[in-house]
Structure 1
Amino acid sequence: MKVFQSLQFKLIIGIVAVLVPLVAYHLYTNFYAIHVVREKVASSNNDLVDLFMQSKVDQVLEDTNKYLLTRAAGDPDVLSLNLYSESDGEYQMRKARIINRLRDDLVLYSTINTFFVYSRGGQDLTVTDGNYKDFGELADWLDKSSVNDNAGWTVLHNGRGYGLFTAVHASPDVMLGAWIDVKSLLVPFRQLNLGGGGEAMVLGANGEPLSSSSLTDAGLDDLRPQLDLLDDSYVILDQPEGKKLAVGTKSELSDIRIVVLVPERSLLQRLTFFLRAAWIIPIFAVLVLGLYILLLRRVLFMPLSDLMRGMRRIIQGDLNFRLAEDKTSELSFLSSTYNHMADQIKQLRIGIYEQELRVKQAELKHLQVQINPHFYLNSLHIIYSLATLKLYGNVQKMALYLADYFKFTIRTNRSHVTLNEEMKHIRNYLEIQKLRYPDMLEFEIDIPAPWGEAFIPALSIQPFVENAIVHGMRMEGESFFVRMVAEALPDDPERFVVVIADNGEGFPAEQLSKLASGSYMEEADGSHIGIWNVIHRLRLYFGDKAAAHFTNGDPQGAIVRLTLPFNLGTDGGGNEHV
């Protein structure tokens, strides 16, 4: 039986067909909810980043530009600074007043790290806060810039790190400017609730990091091609500590971009139940499916399997297998019905078997009766021949042998005799034949123990001896010799062989072929009733355990080998004597 055609397979497939869509729908709704939450949180954070960029960064940059332009255009010290050389005391005094006013105004711009004044003629850079030696790169840039290079905020790396600066020309040789460390730009973003592990970072125009970050090089490589997506959407980055959601926006007044990284676990911390349920429910469904299959197996599949096994046992002929009573009412009815059916079949089979035995016994009796008249007719022919030859002494011996023979025949109304008893009967028969053919017949009987005690159907061997004399004995030439011997069967200790061999004409080739093929049994007629009768009775009595094999001897003669079971059972009939 194919697996996919079984009831068990169909029931399990049916259950799976119901559970899988439900679990899939549950997973879809959970992950869809997670996706919606991620979208909303990302959109909210993106809006906050835009707001902070506009109000906290770009507004400061714009206000600083306005302040520097106003100061450069309205401060007389700035406008006249280029009129003096750096070694002049007036230059130093004017520069000191400019720096003091810038330092006083610095408190109004908390994001600005320092203001500076640069005199290109003497390459003199003065800062309001910090060590001017840290701004060597800034001085080089200012020295090489032209009047048109002060159009906005520029990213520059100095001795301490990256920063933004802008400079306005008060005159071709004097510039006022401001410097902002990029780390200062991130201070407002700390007010955002980014959760544990969240952070903000500054990226340059090409996506290069301008501030420190926990983002790996691989994460940066994944982020750079998707920077444009951050203006309207978000990007998910895989990091060793977990997934991070990246949102950000670009400054309108500079080439920097603020990117905020929020751990996904903090975004979904309020969806803990849904996250757990997304995995617990499928596992629970698998457990329920397994328990349900175990329950079905115990309640339905095992009883059905026992019922099928019992039916197979009945088909194989075993009627003793019974099903245990089941607690389920439907299956209990099936098991009780099966047991009742098996009992009825067993009783019916016993009755049929007993009827077959009676038929076989009747057939054996009928076949055995067929043997006796056959020999009687032959015996009468012998007596007639002896009387014709006036051998009255032989007639007397013949009468004695016939008396013993008739005693055996009367006694063998029972179904079987021992091999020794059968051989004694054959000896009487051969002595009768020797009286008929003096000096022309010799015989030898060799039945060693324990084969002589084996039981066989009565008159099972005598017809073969009789057939040998009738068809194999020649009236001229050497004496006709018949030998009967019992031998062990080497490969089967439970059976033995009785050999009847002679030195006569042997079997004709056509007859031998029929005997070997078994067709002789189908074509048996009255002239060959002896052989047919014996073979048929042996099959009825012993079944497949008995066999007859016919061959011709070398150089002449016929050989019959009867394979018989070594049966030491009771005789099965009466023990009456005459």
Structure 2
Amino acid sequence: MPDFLKSLTIYPKLVLSFLLVIVPIYISSLMMNRSGQDIVQTQISDSMASRVHFYTVSLETELARLTRLKWEYLNDDDLLSLANTPERLDDFERTQAILSIKNKLYLLKSSSPFVENVTLYIPALNRSINANNFDYQITEGELEAITDSERMRSALFGIQGRLLMSGAYPDSVYADRAPVLAMEIELSRAEIVRTLSSMSEGGQGGVAWIDASGRWQVSTNTDSELLELLADGLGSYEGNEWPQRGQLQMVSGGVAYFTAHEYSPALGATLAVFTPAKTVMQPLSEHRNWIGIVSVIALLLVIVFSYWIHQLIHKPIKRLIGSFRKVEKGDLGVRVYHVNRDEFHYVYNQFNAMLGQIQSLIHEVYEQRIRSQQSELKQLQSQINPHFFYNSFFILQGLVQMREHDLADKMFHHLGSYFQFITRSGAENVTLASEMKHARAYVEIQKIRFSDTVLVELEDVPIAWESVMVPRLIVQPLIENAYQYGLENKQADGLLTLRFREVEGNRLMIEVDDNGEELGDSRLEEMRKAIAAADRAMETTGLLNVHRRLQLKFGEDCGLQVSRSELGGFQARLTIRREEGEE
């Protein structure tokens, strides 16, 4: 048996065994449904692609026939005779010729259901001949459109919602001269839409015929969002870059569609048919319903079985484990009770009795340890209080002897603040803000002593840490050490910095750096070893004193660390901790 199974508790093992029976059945059903869905989707897609190809070829064939007829008419002898030499005909002959041309145009219109109207413009007569209207006169803008060389290169083009084919004689694309004949064939949008509608099955979905340049389109569906998605899906291609054939999947208005399309180079347009996905997948709906029913039944069985096991076995075990975890966190007052008179009732009673005995023993040991720590704290702190007292009065004596009365006055002021902090309270702990205020008073005293030879940079205490309680006199000894052993002999450009840095574990680092030049690597290593063995020393002073008191207050992962500063001198780094909820 794998190791991870051995580590599982009884409850997940029982549930896992039940799932090993249900899950394979469920997965096989899903795979069968997926396989059937893929087969049906492939068949439908092939059918849609086949229909699109058939209608694309049909449209190409019909429009190619109309193009041939257009050029046959433009090269007709009677038309050319009327267009080139209208002055040779009298009014009667001219009228007869126009009527004959109108009949020919009507025959062209009647030859295809896709033709809505045919118009011939004869510049020599300055008039238009229309298959549907004898008095129709083509507008100047429409004439410019149908004789535009770019439009005549296209099989089809659109103007004001109309779908047109045009031609001129001579062909203005290749001959730089005014045409003597211009023909316009207007296609019937209604007939095209009716023809395209037969492509969509059951009246659902739709068909769209879209120009490659995006200048016209014919569709059986008025959903503008769906048509925009289709145009975006096909992209904006020109010539051979347009995708010849393909399939797309789109979502419009919360409805998914399958789309098959084919591009016609001859027409410069794409024919696309789109069908709702729910229609395509309808044959599998009943099978999916059964899959859903089986899934619900299996889920209910798993839930009922899991709940039964949970109530009888897992819940009592979980309650006991939760109690053990509370004990691990130090809560020895937790108690558990079991109503049923079974094995868990006995285990719970023994657990409660065991905690009562442990609580009694811990109380005795804890009280003894606290008394011992308080005694050690008082002893350690008493060693610091006289230390700065001696140094301060030596400095003051020197100022008086040199008759520096103003500096002596400042010295008295800062000394007063300093010793007020020392003597005003016998409390072992103060806020970090108070400790830093005391350290600043000490720095002001040292500034008087060192004048301008040492620059001091002290950061402000982070607001969230101002009220955190710390042992008294933990920062000032670090600054005193920097002055005494690093900056004492600096003649100029001395630098002392104090910075704060928050780290993970809800801790704060206080870093004191100097650029002194007297600290050697051997001395630094000796200090590291002394700090590491500070808990075993019988007497501790200076930095070791600070380190030991911090560990007694905050634990073994806090205290003092020493290293080479980036400034080149000595760095002392204090680490303190803020308890949860302490602000």
* Greater gyration radius: 1
TM-score (norm 1): 0.47
